[in-house]
Structure 1
Amino acid sequence: MNAVTDLLEADPPGTAPSRTALMSAAARAAHRLVDDAPLLLDDPMSEQLLGEAGTEAIGYHRLLPHEPVLAAARVSACVRQHLVEAVLAEEAPDVLVLLGAGLDTSGVRHASTGATVVELDLPTTQRWKRDALARAGVEVPPSLRWIPADLRTDDPVALLRTAGVGPEHRTLVSWLGVSMYLTARDVSRTLARLAALGPGTALVMDSLLDPGSRDDAGRRYAETVSAMAGSTGEPWLWTTSTEDLGTLLRGAGWRRATLLTEREAAGAGAWARTDTLVPGTLSTLTVATVA
Structure 2
Amino acid sequence: MEDASPSKTALGVARLRALHQISPEAALFRDPYAIAILGESTPAEQQLAQEDTRSRRMRLFVAARARFAEDWLAAAVRRGVRQLVVLGAGLDTFSLRNPYPGLAVFEVDHPATQAWKRKSIADAGLAEPPATTFVPVNFERQRLPEELASAGLKSTEPSFFMWLGVVPYLTKDAIFTTLSYISGTLGSEVVFDYSEPSENRDAAGQAALAFHAARVAAVGEPWISFFIPGELAKSLRDLGFDEIEDLESGDIAARLSGTPKGETTNAGGHLIRARRSATAAP
Whether TM exceeds 0.5 here: the answer is: yes
Q: Is the 8 A contact 1:100 1:151 kept in 2?
A: no
2:192 is aligned, of 194, 202, 205, to 205
Deviates more, 1:265-274 or 1:149-158: 265-274
Deviates more, 1:243-252 or 1:216-225: 216-225
Residue pairs, 1:135-284, within 5 angstroms: 135-196=123-184, 198-265=185-252, 268-270=255-257, 272-273=259-260, 278-284=264-270
Cα RMSD after superposing both structures = 2.3
- Percent identity between matched residues is 29
Summarize deviations over 1:30-51 as a string: whole Å, max 9, x none: 11202236x2211131111111
Tell me by how many angstroms 1:267 deviates.
5.2
Tell me the distance in 1 between the aligned counterparts of 2:179 and 2:192: 10
Q: Is the 8 A contact 2:110 2:136 kept in 1?
A: yes
Tell me the distance in 2 between the aligned counterparts of 1:73 and 1:280: 6
**SS at 1:129 equivalent:** helix
**SS at 1:51 equivalent:** helix
- Identify if the C-alpha distance between structure 1 residues 112 and 139 changes in structure 2 by more than 3 Å, giving closer, same or farther: farther
Normalization by structure 2: what TM-score?
Answer: 0.88
Moved over 4 A (4+): none
**SS at 1:34 equivalent:** coil
- Identify if the C-alpha distance between structure 1 residues 79 and 269 changes in structure 2 by more than 3 Å, giving closer, same or farther: closer
1:204 partner letter: V
1:76 partner letter: F
Tell me the distance in 2 between the aligned counterparts of 1:154 and 1:75: 34
2:276 partner letter: V
Which structure is higher in helix share? 1
Q: Is the 8 A contact 2:58 2:265 kept in 1?
A: no
Q: Is the 8 A contact 1:156 1:194 kept in 2?
A: no
Tell me the distance in 1 between the aligned counterparts of 2:45 and 2:213: 22
Q: Is the 8 A contact 1:88 1:172 kept in 2?
A: yes
Tell me by how many angstroms 1:225 deviates.
1.7
Tell me the distance in 2 between the aligned counterparts of 1:189 and 1:146: 21
1:89 pairs with 2:78 = no
Unaligned regions of 5+ residues in structure 1, if any?
1-11
Unaligned regions of 5+ residues in structure 2, if any?
278-282
1:32 partner letter: Q
Tell me the distance in 1 between the aligned counterparts of 2:256 and 2:213: 30
Normalization by structure 1: what TM-score?
Answer: 0.85
1:106 pairs with 2:94 = yes
Deviates more, 1:225-234 or 1:263-272: 263-272
